[in-house]
Amino acid sequence: GYLLYVGRLLEIKGVVHLLRAMPRVLARHPGIGLLVVGYGEREQALRAEVEQLGIGSAVCFAGRRSHAEVARSFRGCRLAVVPSIERADGRAEGMPTVVLEALASGVRVVATATGGIPDVLRHGENGWLCRDRDPADLAEKILCALDAPHDSPVTSSARETARRFAWPRVAERYAEVFERLLG
């Protein structure tokens, strides 16, 4: 089994903190891997970090992948990790679409409580939230997610969240708002 990261390899995505969490995760789950899907300016630095941490055999950089390949990766993974950070100037990502894609795929999600993520992901309810820039806390939440039973209510709650945020439902809600406004 493997953990999945999907996104650009940029500083704000916080991938370095996920890499730094991996040794603790591997200590409890030595057979698990990490599949990093995406590309970006931080790739060489992240590859160097993997070497420095000595986790090269557990981490695969897959580069750019088609939407179909990403969908297959979601179906095959144990959980998706979204380690986004808040920048020094206080800016954070809005709502990474990967969170909704993972939830819609029925995949467990561990993410940082930054930007718009806590609007969708509620800790222990439909996913696991951790502090940003905190590899120890991230590792702990990954281990909680990995160790949760397969029939955990978190998984069914995650699918329900994804349905609520699915585009047809969002479009319906916009239509309802416009109808009320234009009445």
pLDDT of the residue at 169: 58
Instruction: Label residue 24 exposed, middle or buried (CB < 10 Å: 0-12, 13-18, 19+).
Output: middle
pLDDT of the residue at 166: 66
pLDDT of the residue at 16: 98
pLDDT of the residue at 167: 58
With a CB cutoff of 8 Å and minimum separation 6, the contacts of 143 are 24, 25, 28, 29
pLDDT of the residue at 141: 98
Contact at 8 Å (CB) between 95 and 117?
yes
Q: Bridge-partner residues for 37, per DSSP?
A: 6, 63
pLDDT of the chain, 183 residues: tens digit per residue: 999 999 999 999 999 999 999 999 999 999 999 999 999 999 999 999 999 999 999 999 999 999 999 999 999 999 999 999 998 888 887 777 889 889 888 899 999 999 999 988 999 889 999 999 999 999 999 999 999 887 777 766 777 777 776 655 555 665 666 677 776
pLDDT of the residue at 139: 98
pLDDT of the residue at 92: 83
pLDDT of the residue at 183: 64
Q: The pTM is what?
A: 0.86
The structure tokens 């996913």 sit at 127
pLDDT of the residue at 152: 75
Strands (E), the chain: 2-6, 33-37, 59-63, 79-82, 108-112, 128-130
SS3 state of residue 93: coil
Start-to-end CA span in the chain (Å)? 52
pLDDT of the residue at 68: 93
